[in-house]
Amino acid sequence: MESSFLTAVFLPLALFSIMLGMGLGLTPSDFKRILAEPKAVILGLMAQLLFLPLIGFLIVSVFPLSAELAVGMMILCACPGGSTSNIVTYLAKGNVALSITLTAISSLLTVFTIPFIVNFAMERFLSAGTTLQLPLIDTMVRIAAITLIPVSLGMLLHSKAPKLAARVEKWVKWLSLFFLGLIIVGLLLKERAQVADFFLQVGWVTFVLIVIAMAVGSAIATLATLDAPSATAITIEVGIQNGTLAIAIASAPTFLNTPSMAIPAAIYSLLMFIIGGLFAWWSQRQPQLQA
């Protein structure tokens, strides 16, 4: 599978499907929930947009990663949320409304935060002479186009034809997973000569990132004395990232066009389903979450 075809066709389709699916399940009230649950929403957003990049920076500073893999990890940390976190929150008997709200609002805010975090990472980890950089305004416009437009289309369909939106949403989620699977396979095939080294270098790093991020999310929610379902939602939202968006920023020709930087997000996406599934299985068996 050619990398150009992968990033030019399947990657936009995957991202469009994921963001459209998110919009199909959203209503304007989800964005207003910050007024109803300000403490939980603000804490969750702080954990996603502030603490997560800090955790990522500390991790990549400790582990001996190559410069491109370090930048790839930071790109991943700059892309919180995603529809997968909503599904895992549901399976874990968490506060799904809070999860959806955090995903929706963080998706809006990362339009502005991603360029700053990624450019900082490239300046910090790549050689001083590199010319690779994300143009600030142009990047914001592009991220908005590939995230906010499909979300808005999904919300519009939800408001005009809720029954149709509910049926379409199920198919869109499976379609997005199919495209994501193709992208991960394609990236790993393209870098097949180094796949084993990449897994050895960054597999444990992505695992540590997920575990520490979820632990920090849980600790923040616990210290804030949030109820168990809300704590579960924040734990998952901080721990599960939008791997597809991270892959797009790293490898798409309209962004960085560096497929090796997408490897951490590809490996992370594989681990995410395993760890998220185990956490949901464990949460279902906790008595305090059964209410």
What tens digit of pLDDT does each residue of 49-89 get? 999 999 999 999 998 888 899 999 999 999 887 777 877 88
Q: Please compute the mean of the pLDDT values over residues 139-166 and round it to a whole number.
A: 82
Give the separation between CA 262 and CA 252, rounded to whole angstroms: 10
Angle at 264 between CA 220 and CA 12, to 5 degrees: 100
Higher pLDDT: 144 or 246? It is 246
pLDDT the model gives residue 6: 62
What pLDDT does 193 receive? 66
Mean pLDDT computed over every residue of the chain: 81
Is there a domain that residue 290 lies in? Answer: no
CATH of the domain at 145: 1.20.1530.20
The pTM assigned to this predicted structure is: 0.81
Query: To the nearest whole percent, how much of the chain has pLDDT over 90?
Result: 21
Q: Is the pLDDT of residue 197 over 90?
A: no
- Cα angle at 219 between 217 and 223, to 5 degrees? 120
Residue 289 domain-assigned?
A: no
Q: What is the pLDDT of residue 109?
A: 87
Residue 291 forms part of a structural domain: no
pLDDT tens digits, residue range 93-152? 888 888 888 888 888 888 889 888 998 998 888 864 455 566 677 777 777 777 778 888
Please provide residue 166's backbone torsions phi and psi, each rounded to the nearest 5 degrees: -65, -40
Q: How many domains are there within the chain?
A: 1
* CA dihedral angle for residue 218, residue 61, residue 57, residue 86, rounded to 10 degrees: -50
Residue 280 in any domain: the answer is yes
pLDDT, residue 289, reads: 44
Domain-embedded: residue 104:
yes
Full DSSP string of 96-148: HHHHHHHHHHHHHHHHHHHHHHHHHHHHHHS-TT------HHHHHHHHHHHHH
Q: Which residue has the tokens 């990398």?
A: 3
- Residue span of the structural domain in which 277 resides: 3-284
Q: Which residue has the tokens 């939202």?
A: 237
Angle at 103 between CA 91 and CA 207, to 5 degrees: 65
